[in-house]
Amino acid sequence: MAYMFEMEVVKAWNTAIAREENWKPTGPRWTFVDSDMYMDVMPLNAPQHRIDVFYRLFNDLADSFKRSYPNDISFAEWTADRAKIDAEYRELFGMEY
């Protein structure tokens, strides 16, 4: 069950980070990304341990993003980079992920 929750959080991350309104000119608006994700995966009265797991995962994903893009990046630049990565993935594996 925990693994399914982790996958839900990653899916919510992918959705939230891809929303242009969650970006400022220099990178993601982390509070907007966090808020969208939280609303997508957390029940109204979530137990504290689930909240803790959510924020651990959110912080891990945000840290990974910051390592991948240590300098400022616009939504347009990120989208172009994403498209390049997606094309490479399709070329290597012959499928979407």
Rounded to the nearest integer, the mean pLDDT of the chain is 93
> Are 70 and 59 a contacting pair, CB within 8 Å?
no
Higher-scoring residue by pLDDT: 1, 77: 77
Q: Kindly state the percentage of the chain with pLDDT values over 90.
A: 84
Does position 1 have pLDDT exceeding 60, yes or no? no
Using 50, 70 and 90 to split pLDDT, how confident is the model at 62? very high
pLDDT at 14 (0 to 100): 96
Q: CA nearest 82: which of 67, 72, 69?
A: 69
